[in-house]
Structure formats: structure tokens, C-alpha cells
């Protein structure tokens, strides 16, 4: 892989495996919260421990598209391309997915627990009221940048992380994961996806934002996802 990428073992504090990667349990961290925070434990670790001109996140199978060698060929963003993007932009996020038949909020309520959104709405109203209009706009939109993927100039990233994690921490006592399956316990990870969009929308006039295509090195099962979304919408059911 391009040396611009730093593999991070997320949830290392919950695992006895030694993958030989950077651990998200080193230094200041929330590695123990990985079950609900997912990849956000790596973002927190980077915020507290990493020094770089720009910081971003990709996944083991999802990257921003480019021309560097990746798991399935030369199709992931290279370090040189990142430098070029950051010379002209402050933030890069994935091109939004279009939800044709429902809004971002209704999609979440059909697929997860709507009370999660209610909790975040209440937290924002109390702690960050200036962001409520952007939150409502994202919720009523039919487009969403997914996977908590981004590339940001360091000072922008620090501002984003300093805003995001107190909100997610405040959501923890308001959300009961005890009776949820492992899929639905990824609550703060799912909320983080929505909040990234909220933060970017609220700050678009201050920062230069670029949208980048995303490549899934294992292929994207779009048909299966579409069928499952329609099934949830029609039946009103979701995983526990």
C-alpha cells in the first residue's frame, strides 16, 4: 500500500489478536468502545495521538478512488493525490449516496432505532444549537456521504473531532444497547456518519469541500442493499 496509509487495528483493547498494525489502544484512546463506535475509535486515536498535515479515514475494503496500488489493483487514492487535493480543498468526503424512496431520517428509522436520532437532536439543541438547522436539513435530505470516510487538513480535522466526540459521548447514557444485536449496537458509528454530513453542511461556507468517488475492493452489493431497504420500508421491520 501507499505509505500515506497507516493500518490501524481498531478495538485492540477488546482483542487478543496481534495483527502487527498500529493499535487504537495506544496513548489516549476509546478502543474499548469499538463495539458501538466502530471505525470512530481509529479517528479518536488519530485526533489524540497523530501528527500530520492532513488526516483521513478509509477502510480495509473501501477507499477513495485513485491510481495507487490497493487490495484489488491500482485504484485507490495515492499520497500524491491526497496532497494535490488538500492543496485546493480543506475537506474531502465521499460522493453522497442517493436514497430515492426515502429521506435520510426515514432510512435510519427503518434500518436502526429512531430513538438514536431523537437523542442526538436533543443533544444538539442543548449543546450546539447552531447545528440544529443543518441536522434537520440532512435528516430531510435524500443524499448522504457514508462510511465516516473523509480527508481533512489537520486543523480542520481537529475542529471536527472536538465537535463530534462530545456529542457521541453525551448520547451514550441516552441509548440502551443491551437488547440490541451486534449489528444494531454499532450506534455511535452510525450516528457519526450522519453527524459528519451535518458538520460539513454547517461549515461549507468556511471550508472548501471536495466530493470523491469511493471504490469497494470487494464489490458493492447494490441490488441486495436496494432490496433490503425496500423490504424494511414496506414491512416496517428491522434487525433487533
- Least Cα distance to 81 among 145, 149, 151 occurs for 151
Joined together, the cell numbers standing for residue 6 give 497507516
pLDDT digits 0-9 by tens, 58-106: 999 999 999 998 887 879 999 999 999 999 999 999 999 999 999 999 9
pLDDT digits 0-9 by tens, 202-230: 999 999 999 999 999 998 665 454 455 45
User: Which residue in the block uniquely carries the three cell numbers 485492540?
Assistant: 12
Predicted model pTM: 0.92
β-strand partners of 65: 76
pLDDT at 97 (0 to 100): 97
Query: What string of DSSP letters covers 156-195?
Result: HHHHHHHHHHHHHHHHGGG---TTS-TTTT-HHHHHHHHH
Question: Mean pLDDT of all residues in the chain?
Answer: 94
Cα radius of gyration rounded to whole Å, the chain: 18
Joined together, the cell numbers standing for residue 40 give 470512530
pLDDT at 89 (0 to 100): 99
- Least Cα distance to 186 among 13, 6, 33, 63 occurs for 33
User: Which residue in the block uniquely carries the three cell numbers 469541500?
Assistant: 209
pLDDT digits 0-9 by tens, 26-47: 999 999 999 999 999 999 999 9
Amino acid at each position: 500500500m501507499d505509505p500515506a496509509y497507516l493500518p490501524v487495528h481498531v478495538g485492540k483493547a477488546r482483542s487478543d489478536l496481534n495483527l502487527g498494525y498500529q493499535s487504537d489502544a495506544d496513548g489516549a484512546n476509546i478502543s474499548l468502545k469499538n463495539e458501538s463506535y466502530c471505525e470512530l475509535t481509529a479517528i479518536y486515536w488519530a485526533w489524540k495521538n497523530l501528527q500530520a498535515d492532513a488526516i483521513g479515514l478509509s477502510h480495509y475494503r473501501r477507499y477513495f478512488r485513485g491510481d495507487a496500488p490497493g487490495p484489488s489493483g491500482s485504484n485507490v487514492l495515492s499520497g500524491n493525490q491526497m496532497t494535490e487535493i488538500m492543496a485546493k480543498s480543506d475537506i474531502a468526503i465521499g460522493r453522497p449516496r442517493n436514497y430515492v424512496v426515502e429521506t435520510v431520517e426515514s432510512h435510519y428509522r427503518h434500518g436502526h432505532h429512531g430513538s438514536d436520532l431523537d437523542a442526538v437532536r436533543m443533544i444538539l439543541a442543548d449543546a450546539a444549537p447552531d447545528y440544529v438547522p443543518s441536522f434537520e436539513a440532512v435528516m430531510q435530505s435524500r443524499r448522504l456521504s457514508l462510511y465516516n470516510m473523509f480527508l481533512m487538513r489537520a486543523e480542520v480535522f481537529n475542529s471536527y473531532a472536538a465537535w463530534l466526540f462530545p456529542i457521541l459521548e453525551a448520547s451514550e447514557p441516552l441509548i440502551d444497547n443491551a437488547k440490541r444485536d451486534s449489528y444494531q449496537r454499532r450506534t455511535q458509528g452510525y450516528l457519526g456518519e450522519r453527524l459528519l454530513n451535518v458538520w460539513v453542511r454547517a461549515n461549507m461556507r468556511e471550508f472548501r469541500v471536495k466530493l470523491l468517488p469511493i471504490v469497494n475492493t470487494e464489490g458493492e452489493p447494490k441490488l441486495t442493499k436496494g432490496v433490503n431497504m425496500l423490504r424494511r420500508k414496506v414491512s416496517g421491520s428491522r434487525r433487533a
